[in-house]
Chain A
Amino acid sequence: MRIGLVTESGYPYVSGDAGLWCERLVRGLTQHEFDLYALSRTRQQEDEGWRPLPRHVGRVRTAPLWTAGEEDRAGYGRRARRRFAECYGELAAALTARNDADLGDPARPTGPDAEADRFGRALYGLAELARDEGGLAGALRSDTAVRALERACRAPGAQRAARQARVPDLLAVATRLERALRPLSLDWHEEDGLGAADLCHTTVGGTAALPGLLARHFCDVPLLVTEYGVPLRSHYLASRATGAAPAVRALLAAFHGALAAEVYQRAALVTHGNAHARRWQERCGADRARLRTVHPGMDAAPFTEVGEAPQAAAPDTLVWVGRVEPAKDLVSLLHAFARVHTARPGARLRIVGSASGPDGAAYLAHCKAVAAQLFPDEAAGPHTAGENPVSFEETGGPEAPTPADAYAAASVIVLSSVVEGFPLGLVEAMLCGRATVSTDVGAVVEVVGGTGLVVPPRNPQALAEACATLLGDPERRARLGAAARARALELFTVEQNTAAFHGLYLEIVARSPVRRVVLDRAGEPLPFAAPAEAHVAGRWTGPPAAATPRTARGGPAWAATSLTRSAGSEAAR
């Protein structure tokens, strides 16, 4: 199968957020051909270059999202301008319309659906305009756009926050919308791009899903959307941090909400990494029947040795591994350990991790001070030097060169966070076959299942009791550790992740095959152009032939860096 993989600031860039799992996915599914479509977020990212690509990656096209668009704002003729004003007005009206209930609330049959239709129509209208006329970036910043926004905000029935929009707010909204809609100007969704793929897999949601959405709209390419984060939630948190005016935040939130709803509605399948992300997806209007959970995969190999040697653990040792930051609530852990230490004087706590950012550094210093005050140094006899039962170690330090070594020394591994997404550290601990005690935050319960103890967050006493219970019961510890390792190996490995996506690919293609009529030179339909073997799993034509340099056509100037390379040039390198 030919899969168009759309990424945003991820694979194949070296410094991608989500680069690792995409790389494992591409390398794991050698039976498919991949075309990469990468959007980059920063100049630095572009400068740092790509990861080495495997042979079955056919072509890579990139487009920056960080450059400013074209300079001229008066590019359109009268007719195109009218068409643009119509589409943009529709978009603005869909954003400002009052939606007291939510976008995807099934209890409201008419309103949100009509709005979603309107939003989708406007979106595809703008994309068609960009395809026919180009120059969309300039138009999105033009006076026509700002006027359309103003009209929509002043219209009766606009939501309250939108009605308060002042002129600077309108300008800010127009600018941000232009940025968000930049993928509309790309020509990726055409016949020689995503349009030729059997399946479009978007590795993040949000605006990066736009190319896939357009390919779905124009060429009927089925769309698979994977969201390991929640783009809408990130948008809310980020927009709060910017401190923009309420009207700006309201309109942009409406845009991102409507976009998410549109993506979920059009996607053949939507995957998420944990139940928390799934709740958001359902909330934004995703159909439950089309939601699939694909847990993130971890490389189990580094932990195999430790996981199969549970007897290597030091007795009475609690270990915490992670990045030190306030959300990890190490103070609570120290207080809990104070109680454990009272009950079991030989107990030790190792905190392995380095601080992230200035906040983290300050927090680490604070934790060290707390530890020094809570625990005096202890010596084994009157003539030996004392040592603190709590030790702070750097990741990769001499005591624990790898995370696996840190986990290996633990009888019990503790997680004390108050905020947590998908706890990868906990998965590592489980792969090491260690019993865990964690707080009930984020996806912890989902990850741990029944293979570890879970306590409420911010409850040192409960944490202490759970730790003390496990420290005093080696048999139960061993049982929980073995169960944890079995669970992690079953659910959270790379192989499981890759196999899950492979299954999803097949499921989607089986349900929605692309029926493309191939035309011959004279424009007549070509019989048997797509033989039955084309649908057989695995490659049936052999590797693709030679590199065919190709330049982007029709796209805007800022997307002109797209390039094509095939497996041949990779082999030549």
Chain B
Amino acid sequence: MTAPEQRRQPLAPGLDLGPGLTPAPASGLGPVLDRAPSPAPAVPPAPGTASPRGGADPVKVLMRRHRDLCAHAVDPLEIAAGLEAHGVTDRTAARFRHRDVFSLAEEMYARVARDAEPVPYPRRADQPRAGIGPFLLAPLPGALCAAGLAGLRLTDGRARLAVAAAAVLAVALAVRAVLRRGPLATGRGRPPGDRAPGTRAWTCWLLGYAVLGDGLLDAAVGGGPDGLPDGTATGPWPLAAAPVLALALGCVPALCAAHLFAVRARRRLTTSRGLDEFAASARPLLLGLFALFLGALAALLAGCGAVLREPADQAQVLSLGALLLLARLLTVHGFPHVPAVALGTAALAEAAAQASVFAGRLPGCDALAVPVDTVVAAWGPGGVPALVCSAAALALLAHATHNLSRASAHAGTEPQP
């Protein structure tokens, strides 16, 4: 510790230049310039020498000079680090009658802690910045879907097939763009590739079933189908346009719900005093936004049904929309595995329902078709996906109310270097 001091004496007599220097005649000097950009002066004059501001308490002067450092320090070592960064050394500390910078910093810390109440830390909710882009993109899938449906009605034969393919591709790309950025995007600061596998495939299957599944099931129960889908609602394998249009348009309320959830949850995170309090306030928020989304989707569905003049099965579309929204919310907030399982189970259940009807036609296997037949007889062909999806959605809802109301789901991820 004192080695440097000991080494100071020998060999170089010029070393003892200290505060007691005699001033040199300063004649012929140019204009005295200010020392503006040099770092903040750290060291007041030594207590022994005449000092205009020093007074009797040099440490107080030092504290005033480093007011910010002292006020925000969390322990003495932080003050010591800050002082050293400003050039205070042990030899400087000796002028304050301290052994080293650490003990000087300790005195400063103790005096600040006694003098002042802790400075309240200014809290601001760092809102997730969505930008306007995702909200401008959100109506795009709905618009493209509507255009595609119009194209299907206007064209015929081979052209209709091309239009259908183009429409599916365009809507898929638009949905992908919506999910890429903004509140529905995964991977804010997380690697994009690391998500549960199969989610996308199961989602596509569920949507495909919403378009074609009911028609197929209806035809199959009646002994059909007698031909491939021809893109109309009246053919041998009818196509349900209203659900898919409503779901595509539903991107807008889904985006709004996710955005509102993220923003409000972040705000409550800032204001709540404890984790339990946050959970208690986040749960009704989630449920309320979920209900709002369902309401919006129901309204959209009714509108679509009226425009397309096609009766739409409310329960089926609502449960599917709820399932997809919850799955996306969970994935976005870092819980991708359970949604993948739920989506996969729902898709497999729907496939099994279809398969059981066809299997029932085999000799001796009549019993296989009985459950599905019963359901279709009671609620129509839409009953099967409605049952399946609502069961999955309920399971996901329970999972989401448990997990998304935790604070750790809303931890802001720091930008990676």
Stretch at the interface among B218-226, B240-248, B268-276, B366-374: B268-276
Stretch at the interface among B35-43, B155-163, B199-207, B228-236: B35-43
B274 touches A150 (CB 8 A): yes
Query: For residue A454, which residues in chain B have a CB less than 8 angstroms away from its CB?
Result: 8, 12, 15, 17
Q: Is A110 an interface residue (CB 8 A)?
A: no
Stretch at the interface among A79-87, A124-132, A463-471: A463-471
Interface size for A (C-beta < 8 A) is 91
A338 touches B42 (CB 8 A): no
Residue from A233, A254, A275, A455 within 8 A of B17 (CB atoms): A455
Q: Which residue of chain A lies nearest to B268 when distances are taken between CB atoms in the complex?
A: A167
A374 touches B91 (CB 8 A): no
B121 touches A461 (CB 8 A): no
Task: Using A167-B407, A240-B72, A332-B38 as known contacts, say yes or no to A72 and B77 having CB atoms under 8 A apart.
Answer: no
Query: What does the 1/0 interface line of A440-475 toward B look like (CB < 8 Å)?
Result: 111001100111111111110110111001100000
Stretch at the interface among A216-224, A295-303, A362-370, A514-522: A362-370
Residue from B1, B19, B194, B273 within 8 A of A71 (CB atoms): B194
- Cβ distance A273 to chain B, nearest Cβ, rounded Å: 14
B86 touches A246 (CB 8 A): no
Residue from B24, B78, B194 within 8 A of A461 (CB atoms): B24
Complex: A279 Cα to B36 Cα, angstroms: 33
Q: Is B328 an interface residue (CB 8 A)?
A: no
Q: Is B382 an interface residue (CB 8 A)?
A: no
Q: Which residue of chain A lies nearest to B35 when distances are taken between CB atoms in the complex?
A: A331
- Cβ distance A154 to chain B, nearest Cβ, rounded Å: 8
B31 touches A373 (CB 8 A): yes
- Cβ distance A509 to chain B, nearest Cβ, rounded Å: 28
Q: Is A50 an interface residue (CB 8 A)?
A: no
**In this complex, which of B84, B102, B189 has the most chain A Cβ atoms within 10 angstroms of its Cβ?**
B84
- Cβ distance B407 to chain A, nearest Cβ, rounded Å: 5
Complex: A446 Cα to B2 Cα, angstroms: 10
A250 touches B74 (CB 8 A): yes
B43 touches A72 (CB 8 A): no
A465 touches B17 (CB 8 A): yes
B118 touches A171 (CB 8 A): no
Complex: A449 Cα to B4 Cα, angstroms: 8
Residue from B17, B38, B269 within 8 A of A331 (CB atoms): B38
Q: Which residue of chain A lies nearest to B399 when distances are taken between CB atoms in the complex?
A: A74
Task: Using A166-B123, A232-B77, A236-B77 as known contacts, say yes or no to A171 and B19 having CB atoms under 8 A apart.
Answer: no
Q: Is B362 an interface residue (CB 8 A)?
A: no
Residue from A71, A161, A329, A451 within 8 A of B334 (CB atoms): A71
Q: Is B209 an interface residue (CB 8 A)?
A: no
Q: Is A142 an interface residue (CB 8 A)?
A: yes
A418 touches B38 (CB 8 A): yes
Q: Give the dominant DSSP class at B's interface.
A: loop
A342 touches B7 (CB 8 A): no
Q: Is B29 an interface residue (CB 8 A)?
A: yes
B100 touches A42 (CB 8 A): no
Stretch at the interface among B53-61, B289-297, B352-360, B408-416: B408-416
Complex: A154 Cα to B72 Cα, angstroms: 21
- Cβ distance B382 to chain A, nearest Cβ, rounded Å: 34
Q: Is B27 an interface residue (CB 8 A)?
A: yes
A72 touches B74 (CB 8 A): no
Task: Using A68-B413, A146-B275, A445-B4 as known contacts, say yes or no to A342 and B14 having CB atoms under 8 A apart.
Answer: no
Q: Is A66 an interface residue (CB 8 A)?
A: yes
Q: Is B261 an interface residue (CB 8 A)?
A: no
B38 touches A329 (CB 8 A): yes
- Cβ distance B62 to chain A, nearest Cβ, rounded Å: 15
Q: Which residue of chain A lies nearest to B28 when distances are taken between CB atoms in the complex?
A: A342
Q: Is B21 an interface residue (CB 8 A)?
A: yes
Q: Which of B289-312 contact A (CB under 8 A)?
A: none
**In this complex, which of B19, B24, B272, B338 has the most chain A Cβ atoms within 10 angstroms of its Cβ?**
B24
Query: For residue B189, which residues in chain A have a CB less than 8 angstroms away from its CB?
Result: 68
A171 touches B269 (CB 8 A): yes
Complex: A240 Cα to B70 Cα, angstroms: 11
Residue from A70, A143, A253, A455 within 8 A of B406 (CB atoms): A143
B87 touches A457 (CB 8 A): yes
Query: For residue B269, which residues in chain A have a CB less than 8 angstroms away from its CB?
Result: 167-168, 171
Task: Using A441-B87, A446-B3 as known contacts, say yes or no to A246 and B14 having CB atoms under 8 A apart.
Answer: no
Q: Which residue of chain B lies nearest to A330 when distances are taken between CB atoms in the complex?
A: B38
B3 touches A240 (CB 8 A): no
Q: Is B190 an interface residue (CB 8 A)?
A: yes
A246 touches B411 (CB 8 A): no
Task: Using A72-B335, A253-B77 as known contacts, say yes or no to A362 and B100 having CB atoms under 8 A apart.
Answer: no
Q: Is B89 an interface residue (CB 8 A)?
A: yes
Residue from B1, B24, B78, B335 within 8 A of A236 (CB atoms): B78
Query: For residue B28, which residues in chain A have a CB less than 8 angstroms away from its CB?
Result: 342
Q: Which residue of chain A lies nearest to B113 when distances are taken between CB atoms in the complex?
A: A160
Task: Using A279-B100, A441-B89 as known contacts, say yes or no to A418 and B42 having CB atoms under 8 A apart.
Answer: yes
A362 touches B408 (CB 8 A): no
Q: Is A145 an interface residue (CB 8 A)?
A: yes
Q: Which of B63-77 contact A (CB under 8 A)?
A: 69, 72, 74-77
A257 touches B74 (CB 8 A): no
Complex: A43 Cα to B416 Cα, angstroms: 9
B87 touches A275 (CB 8 A): no
Task: Using A73-B334, A363-B37 as known contacts, say yes or no to A170 and B23 having CB atoms under 8 A apart.
Answer: no
Q: Is A147 an interface residue (CB 8 A)?
A: yes
A145 touches B408 (CB 8 A): yes
Residue from A74, A164, A232, A458 within 8 A of B118 (CB atoms): A164
Q: Is B30 an interface residue (CB 8 A)?
A: yes
Residue from A68, A161, A451, A458 within 8 A of B416 (CB atoms): A68
Not counting A71-B336, A143-B275, A461-B24, a sample of 20 additional A-B residue pairs whose C-beta atoms are within 8 angstroms of each other reads A41-B417, A67-B191, A70-B194, A71-B334, A146-B407, A147-B275, A167-B269, A167-B270, A168-B123, A168-B270, A171-B269, A331-B33, A342-B28, A418-B39, A442-B89, A445-B5, A445-B7, A456-B17, A464-B24, A469-B14
Residue positions of A touching B, CB distance < 8 A: 41-43, 66-68, 70-74, 102, 141-143, 145-147, 150, 154, 160-161, 164, 166-168, 170-172, 174-175, 232-233, 236-237, 240, 245-246, 249-250, 253-254, 257, 275-276, 279, 283, 326-327, 329, 331-332, 335, 338-339, 342, 362-363, 366, 370, 373-375, 418-419, 440-442, 445-446, 449-459, 461-462, 464-466, 469-470, 480, 483, 557
Q: List 12 A-B contacts (CB under 8 A).
A: A43-B416, A66-B416, A66-B417, A73-B335, A166-B272, A236-B78, A329-B39, A339-B29, A419-B85, A456-B17, A461-B23, A464-B24
